[in-house]
């Protein structure tokens, strides 16, 4: 039980990587705050799995791109559990399109959820972690943020921004016992990636040395390590979870 009696807030945890991470941390003793924006059914399903593991859970609807709603998410979590030990900034969207066809609103929407949402939640949770003199934050980037990808200029910009943001904040707050790290998944089989055309998937598979796509649990396992005592001396790092696609 690596996380006995810990409290973890996981944004976008109604499905995919967020839901798998919520269950994985609960398996190791953490109580979980599930955040969702639209998928209440998925949030309830995740919560039920956590309760069956014997852990407490709280569901909070919030659009993390909105500063007031992000603040509400953190305040409700602290009100329920009296602390937050772990924050996983996982909420994210895609609105792909070639640059010359990309609408400004689609660029802004991806930046707002992926990057600004990470900023909003981190800023609000840091004050509590500083008072506790400790905490673990893991931010979800992507290999696309490291290498770029045609048709994903907005997504790549948001995920690259998360890396720079995370390293900067780690240098600001690490002396208060707060570890901040980044995971950069490759192709992980989720609802988001299933929307890609089959020819795109086939092309991606050719570039993965392990010759398989990742599962949400592959990412959740690395996040578990980073928020556990096993990673107390890991800080400001970006860990790729991509089967070797980006070496």
- Residue 192 pLDDT exceeds 80: no
What pLDDT is stored for residue 191 in this prediction?
Answer: 78
| Count of CB atoms situated within 10 Å of the CB of 160 | 19
Per the confidence metrics, is the pTM higher than 0.85? yes
What pLDDT is stored for residue 13 in this prediction?
Answer: 98
How far is it, in rounded angstroms, from Cα 135 to Cα 141?
19
- Residue 194 pLDDT exceeds 80: no
Q: Note the pLDDT tens digit of each residue in 131-166.
A: 999 999 999 999 999 999 999 999 999 999 999 999
What does the buried/exposed string (b/e) look like for 99-134 if buried means 16 or more CB atoms within 10 Å of the residue's CB?
Answer: eeebeeebbebbbbbbbbbbbbbbebbbebbeeeee
Q: Note the pLDDT tens digit of each residue in 160-183.
A: 999 999 999 999 999 999 999 999
Provide the Cα torsion 86, 89, 90, 92; round to 10°. Answer: 170
Residue 11 pLDDT grade (very low, low, confident, very high; cuts 50, 70, 90):
very high
| Count of CB atoms situated within 10 Å of the CB of 56 | 15
Residue pair 13/19 in contact (Cβ under 8 Å)? The answer is yes
What pLDDT is stored for residue 203 in this prediction?
Answer: 85
- Residue 121 pLDDT exceeds 80: yes
Strand partners, 181: 138
Indicate the DSSP class of residue 1. -
- Burial class for 10, CB neighbours closer than 10 Å (0-12, 13-18, 19+): buried
Token digits for 195?
């929307």
- Domains for the chain: give ranges and CATH numbers: 7-238 (3.40.50.720)
Task: Please compute the mean of the pLDDT values over residues 186-197 and round it to a whole number.
Answer: 82
- Residue 193 pLDDT exceeds 90: no
Residue pair 96/193 in contact (Cβ under 8 Å)? The answer is no
Strand partners, 240: 184
At residue 127's C-alpha, the angle toward residues 122 and 132, to 5°, is 115
DSSP states of 21-33: HHHHHHHTT-EEE
Q: Which of 126, 144, 142 lies closest to 16 in space, CA to CA?
A: 142
Catalytic residue among 36, 155, 187, 233: 155
What pLDDT is stored for residue 198 in this prediction?
Answer: 84
Q: Is 10 helix (H, G, I), strand (E, B) or coil?
A: strand
Q: Which of 200, 113, 199 lies closest to 155 in space, CA to CA?
A: 113
Residue pair 125/84 in contact (Cβ under 8 Å)? The answer is yes
Task: Please compute the mean of the pLDDT values over residues 47-68 and round it to a whole number.
Answer: 98
Considering only residues 145 and 199, tell me which one the structure prediction assigns the higher pLDDT: 145
How far is it, in rounded angstroms, from Cα 64 to Cα 132?
23
Is residue 233 among the annotated active site residues? no
């Amino acid at each position: 039980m690596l996380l006995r009696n810990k409290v973890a807030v996981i944004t976008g945890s109604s499905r995919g990587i967020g839901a798998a991470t919520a269950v994985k941390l609960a398996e190791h003793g953490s109580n979980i705050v599930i955040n969702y924006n639209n998928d209440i059914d998925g949030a309830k399903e995740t919560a039920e799995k956590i309760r069956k593991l014997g852990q407490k859970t709280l569901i909070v609807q919030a659009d993390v791109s909105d500063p007031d709603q992000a603040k509400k998410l953190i305040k409700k979590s602290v009100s329920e559990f009296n602390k937050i030990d772990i924050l996983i900034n996982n909420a994210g969207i895609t609105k792909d399109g070639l640059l010359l066809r990309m609408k400004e609103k689609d660029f802004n929407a991806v930046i707002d959820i992926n990057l600004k949402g990470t900023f909003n939640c981190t800023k609000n949770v840091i004050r509590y972690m500083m008072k506790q003199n400790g905490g673990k934050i893991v931010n979800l980037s992507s290999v696309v943020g490291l290498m770029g990808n045609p048709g994903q200029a907005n997504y790549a910009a948001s995920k690259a921004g998360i890396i720079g943001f995370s390293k900067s904040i780690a240098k600001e707050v690490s002396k208060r016992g707060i570890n901040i790290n980044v995971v950069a998944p490759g192709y992980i089989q989720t609802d988001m990636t299933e929307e890609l055309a089959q020819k795109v998937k086939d092309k991606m598979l050719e570039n993965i040395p392990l010759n398989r796509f990742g599962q949400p649990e592959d990412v959740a396992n690395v996040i578990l390590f980073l928020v556990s005592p096993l990673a107390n001396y890991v800080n400001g790092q970006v860990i790729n979870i991509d089967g070797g696609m980006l070496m």
